[in-house]
Amino acid sequence: MFKSRKPVALDDPSLERVKLTPQMLDYDRFANRGRSQYLPYVMSFNAAGYQSASINTDRLGFRFAHDKQGRAISAGQLQACADGPVNILVGASPALGYGASSDATSVVSRLAAHDPQGTPWLNFAGHCFNATQELTLFMLHMHRLPKIHRIVVMGGFNTLVMARLPEFVRGELPAFYFCGDYYEKFDEIAEEHGAKLPPAKLPKWPNETTAVPPVAQTLARATADTLNCLKTWKCLAQSLGAELSFVMQPLATWVRSPCAEEQKLFDELDRISRLGTWQHLYGDISDPAVAAQYADKLASGCHALGIPFSNLVDALQARPADEWFFVDRAHFTDLGNDVVAQAIHHHLQ
């Protein structure tokens, strides 16, 4: 049985992540659950009004992006683009730009920098979001936005991770990160008000004794959850006169063997993680063959819905093997953000 490891201070100056990616200390503070804000219907969202050298959010929790003129804009601060049109990037932490050295080097800001029409791009991404939360967040805030030209949804991995949760967590609707905490607290409140709970409490997740489902089942669930959301996205986009695309995010293990900097960071993260190595946690869905199957399923589903699809894994695989794209296995360096932004524009054109 895997045992929890002794905590390591993530700001220890001897760590490679501090030497190679010092901006991650800002993201550690940003992602602290004590800073996350409760948001009705979405559950939790980015810390609001967060300020640092690497990442800054507005009063609503949206990360600032820079337009082509270098002006900071966000869904809660639209003065520079109040009349529109705007483009929006939807997704989880990779779309948020988690790992970028500044707001100006996030995927969204690089999309604006490379945009041939000079259209501003807004960051509509949430840390630890799944496809359903991404959609819900947009529906809660779409009334704030001017005319939208393009909606690009970048996702795949978080919904895949949530699809591995056991049935007692998933239920009939997609699970979300930290949902176990919510369920336990809800049970406590229900019990206080007379509810009769099962004599034996259900196991918690993650739990070393709870086997993940077969990969084929995980892929089928994640694909279905994503496409169900994309059906609604299409209805919304059509009603707004906006162009909709879906792009599958790249994961380091799906792209290629790590470069030298990535190898140092990945080895260290495996060593200091309190939950275990990446292979221990996500090994079954980290294989490039699984990514190819997932991309095929998503591409087929998008084609059936009439939604343009692109697999960003292909774009990174086409680059030189020694380029440093990832600060960890899911999030990008500044170079990675720029390459991803260029790949998205190539897809759009």
Report yes or no on 308 lying in a domain: yes
Q: What angle (nearest 5°) sits at the alpha carbon of residue 78, between those of residues 72 and 82?
A: 130
pLDDT of residue 3: 47
DSSP 280-318: HHHGGG-SHHHHHHHHHHHHHHHHHHT--EEEHHHHHHT
**pLDDT of the chain, 349 residues: tens digit per residue:** 334 456 678 888 999 999 999 999 999 999 888 888 888 898 889 999 999 999 999 999 999 999 999 999 999 988 767 777 999 999 999 999 999 999 999 999 999 999 999 999 999 999 999 999 999 999 999 999 999 999 999 999 999 998 888 776 666 777 777 776 777 777 777 777 777 766 555 555 445 446 788 999 999 999 999 999 999 999 999 999 999 999 999 999 999 999 999 999 999 999 999 888 999 899 999 999 999 999 999 999 999 999 999 999 999 999 999 999 999 999 999 999 999 999 999 999 8
Q: What angle (nearest 5°) sits at the alpha carbon of residue 324, between those of residues 22 and 25?
A: 15
Q: Is 44 helix (H, G, I), strand (E, B) or coil?
A: strand
Tell how strand 86-91 and strand 148-155 pair up: parallel
Domain with residue 341: its CATH number is 3.40.50.1110
Give the count of beta carbons closer than 10 Å to the beta carbon of residue 202. 15
Give the count of beta carbons closer than 10 Å to the beta carbon of residue 208. 10
Burial of 62 (C-beta count, 10 Å sphere; 0-12/13-18/19+): buried
Report yes or no on 185 lying in a domain: no
Residue 57 bridge partners (DSSP): 63
Full-prediction pTM beyond 0.85?
Answer: yes
In terms of Cα–Cα distance, which of 108, 93, 106 is closest to 28?
93
Report yes or no on 225 lying in a domain: yes
Domain limits at 20? 16-164+212-348
pLDDT of residue 61: 96
In terms of Cα–Cα distance, which of 47, 48, 55 is closest to 22?
55
The count of domains in the chain is 1
